[in-house]
Amino acid sequence: MKALVLYEKKDGATELREVPKPSVGPDDVLIRVKAAAVCGADIEFYRAKMTGSLRPPVILGHEFCGVVEEAGRNVKKWKPGDRVVSENTGHVCGECYACLTGQYLLCPERKGTGYSMDGGFAEFVKIPGEVLQRMSSALYRLPDTISFEEGSIMEPSCNAYRAVIQEGELALGEFIAVFGPGPIGLFAVALAKLAGASHIFLFGTAGDETRLTFGKEIGADIVARVDERSASEVISQFLGTDGVDIVIDAAGPGVVMENAMTIIRPLGRIVKVGWGKPYPQLFDPLMVKGATITGHFGYDYVSWRNIIHLVQAGRLHYGSFISKTYSLDQWEEAFVAVEEKKVIKVVFNQF
Ligand SMILES: [Zn+2]
Ligand SMILES: [Zn+2]
């Protein structure tokens, strides 16, 4: 089968290869991939900027969905033809605190499909029986009314759901500021709008113009480049001395956390989603405000369940998030589009 393989932890060491179709054991499920989305992390892997979790040679692609092609003889829950979306866990220990409390993504032994194990930029991907037995939510049923393209971009929206709703605990009428207009930041805007935030600020920097404009279209009230004006200047212009209730840091640099601590109101909530660059040394502003920083990674069963319901009910519109579709053969073109930030999401739908 055809697959996009990252073969070394080196800038650009990725190529389309012919590889054997995965063999299916008695407990495994083989998925024929129908759509797979490119994530910013794929570019970081490709450029060898983020390599900690990479286990090359590995097939990339951690945002994917498709139909069950084959189910091992012991598999009861799935049968060929079932439409499914993966949440990209390929291995968890099943024994640690995180696993035993159902927070599998936080398992120290977790391996993700698409970087630590073979993923969805291929004709087929295997979900091992071992993970399905420990964590049945490694696969979700994709309702018929949701297209495969939409299914492929669910993962980052679940991420945003967890940050805004479950961790940020956004209440109707609150103010929220989102730093970083990548897909997770933009989904955070869409969900904050849906959840009734009274004022949504979206902040980016140079190069983010396309995404900031899109953010405004989907519900951000104020978008601004914080390399031109500070976030606190923008916030104080609209809110006076009031701070925001929630900050979603979907960007990562230390300066964002500094900004977040400035603009958060007393007892406000900061959710750190973006991967860190150097961090500010002084967290004292948090003490005087009694504010909270929540570390965030991924999503859980609740995020997926509720996102699927929202999309199925037609409340969360995915269509506009998909800027372009490609065949897997055009992967280089798709990667460049994401790298240049001229698109929101791009999806492979031919393999
Ligand atoms: Zn991703
Ligand atoms: Zn575990």
68: tokens are 């069950």
Beta strands in the chain (DSSP E): 2-6, 14-18, 29-37, 58-59, 63-71, 83-86, 89-91, 111-112, 124-127, 139-141, 175-179, 199-204, 222-225, 244-249, 264-272, 292-295, 322-327, 345-350
Closest CA to 211 of 299, 337, 331, 317: 337
Distance 102 CA to ligand 2 centre (A): 9
Distance 104 CA to ligand 2 centre (A): 6
Distance 133 CA to ligand 2 centre (A): 13
List, run by run, the mean pLDDT of 10-residue segments along the chain (351 residues): 98 98 98 98 96 96 98 98 97 96 94 98 98 96 97 97 98 98 98 97 96 97 95 93 95 91 96 80 80 92 97 92 97 97 96 96
CATH 3.30.413.10 fits 160-295, yes or no: no
Write the CA distances from 240 to 108, 244, 261, 329, integer angstroms.
43, 11, 16, 52
Distance 258 CA to ligand 2 centre (A): 33
350: tokens are 């031919």
Indicate which ligand has the atom closest to the C-alpha of 110. 2
231: tokens are 């976030």
Q: How many CB atoms lie within 10 A of CB 67?
A: 15
Indicate which ligand has the atom closest to the C-alpha of 92. 2
Per DSSP bridges, beta strands 292-295 and 264-272 are parallel
Rounded Cα gap, residues 133 and 81, in angstroms? 20
User: Are 57 and 6 in contact, with CB atoms under 8 Å apart?
Assistant: yes
Distance 86 CA to ligand 2 centre (A): 19
In the chain, CATH 3.40.50.720 sits at 160-295
Distance 40 CA to ligand 1 centre (A): 6
Rounded Cα gap, residues 232 and 328, in angstroms? 43
pLDDT at 108: 94
pLDDT at 100: 96
Distance 312 CA to ligand 2 centre (A): 31
Rounded Cα gap, residues 72 and 169, in angstroms? 41
Rounded Cα gap, residues 199 and 191, in angstroms? 13
From the DSSP assignment, how many helices (H) and strands (E) are in the chain? 12, 18
Rounded Cα gap, residues 53 and 107, in angstroms? 13
In the chain, CATH 3.90.180.10 sits at 2-153+318-350
Distance 42 CA to ligand 1 centre (A): 7
Residue entry with tokens 């159902």: 102
Residue entry with tokens 């499909």: 113
Distance 41 CA to ligand 1 centre (A): 6
CATH 3.90.180.10 fits 2-153+318-350, yes or no: yes
22: tokens are 């995965």
pLDDT at 276: 77
Q: Does residue 80 have a cis peptide bond before it, meaning omega lies within 30 degrees of 0? A: no
Indicate which ligand has the atom closest to the C-alpha of 103. 2
